Amino acid sequence: MELANIEKIVAFIGALVVFSFAIIGLRGEWRKTGLDDQVTKVLLGLMAFGCILVVLACFGILPHTAAGGPA
Amino acid sequence: MAVSVAPGHGVGHDDHDGGHDDILYRETRDMRLMGFVLFLGADVVLFSSYIFAYIYLRNSIPSWPPPGPDGHALPRLDTAFAAFNSIVLFGSGVTMHWALEHWKHGNKARYNLFMWLTIFLGIGFLGGQAYEYAHAAIGGWSGNTFGASFFTLTGMHGLHVAVGVGFLFALWLQTTRGVYTKERFFGLTAGTLYWHFVDVIWVVLFFLFYLW
């Protein structure tokens, strides 16, 4: 198996794990109202979005990732 | 320590559960937090100016990546490795979040575990970035606009990560020396916000350089 494919598989599994824990963390913060809690909500949400980008990159769904791996 | 207490802040209650230091902590925490959030906002402005400069450069050239010195188009960056390295950094954001949560709940053993995981993952990300710098065939910093943009923005981000690793290590040292308690842990809150911020900046850079 090519190194790029191994990297994609590890990144995909990691993205699922990190996304899950980010959402769990976000749910825990949801009812809190302090400034630090509000900022944390935004940042955890964006991090979860980052995990979605990684998954899209792993599957080559975005335009420039279709070929995947090193150019 | 002389502390002025504004009317209506419950002096009696504060004296009852901790004295002047607790009053000072409670009265200044929100101000310090606001100051730290403003600092992060200033950093957003810094990154934004570089990011918009990159977007401008990219849109002002017909083909991207631009041609190298030999006239051929430069190769795209390694998306698979970047995805892997991104998850290393995002994972460190989650471990930092849980380190803070365990500290709030008084579980120091798990706090230590997650804090060290965060530090190791941060160092791992920097190692991955160094590897990518060594292998990216995009012509170095001064060869073309793509290389200049890539190395400037990711280098500035990497510098933030390196500072963050040092910040987290300093926080861990402070916790071992009893600087923070279960109730008073502003430094850990600031460290967590900073680390999340560094993660989120990478989300933008990952999209701009590898997926767009």
Minimum-distance CB partner of A40 among B79, B87, B196: B196
Return d(Cα B74, Cα B12) in angstroms, integer: 69
What's the confidence (pLDDT) of residue B18? 60
Q: Report the residue of chain A nearest B73, measured CA to CA.
A: A71
Split at pLDDT 50, 70, 90, the class of A21 is very high
Residue B73: φ, ψ to 5°: -65, 140
Split at pLDDT 50, 70, 90, the class of A65 is low
Q: Which CA distances in Å does A50 have to B4, B84, B120, B138, B211? A: 45, 12, 20, 25, 12
Whether residue B170 lies within 8 A of chain A, CB to CB, comes out as: no
Split at pLDDT 50, 70, 90, the class of B44 is very high
ipTM (interface pTM): 0.88
Whether B210 sits inside 8 A of A69 (CB atoms) is no
Whether B34 sits inside 8 A of A35 (CB atoms) is yes
Q: Examine the pLDDT at B23 and tell me if it is beyond 90.
A: no
Of B117, B209, B116, B115, nearest to B156 by C-alpha is B209
Return d(Cα A58, Cα B45) in angstroms, integer: 30
Q: Which CA distances in Å does B191 have to B2, B37, B167, B187? A: 29, 11, 7, 6
Chain B residues within 8 A of A41 when measuring between CB atoms: none
What's the confidence (pLDDT) of residue B93? 95
Q: Examine the pLDDT at B11 and tell me if it is beyond 60.
A: no
Chain B residues within 8 A of A8 when measuring between CB atoms: 80, 83-84
Q: Report the residue of chain B nearest A44, measured CA to CA.
A: B196
Please write the tens of the pLDDT for every residue from B164-206. 999 999 999 999 999 999 888 999 999 999 999 999 999 999 9
Q: What is the mean pLDDT of chain A?
A: 87
Minimum-distance CB partner of B210 among A39, A44, A57: A57
Return d(Cα B71, Cα B172) in angstroms, integer: 51
Please write the tens of the pLDDT for every residue from B47-84. 999 999 999 998 988 888 888 777 777 788 889 999 99
Provide the sign of the torsion angle of the four alpha carbons B203, A20, B97, B31, taken in this order.
positive
What does pTM read for this prediction?
A: 0.87
Q: Judge whether B50 and A43 are in contact, CB under 8 Å.
A: no
Whether residue A56 lies within 8 A of chain B, CB to CB, comes out as: yes
What's the confidence (pLDDT) of residue B124? 97
Whether residue A35 lies within 8 A of chain B, CB to CB, comes out as: yes
Q: Judge whether B32 and B44 are in contact, CB under 8 Å.
A: no
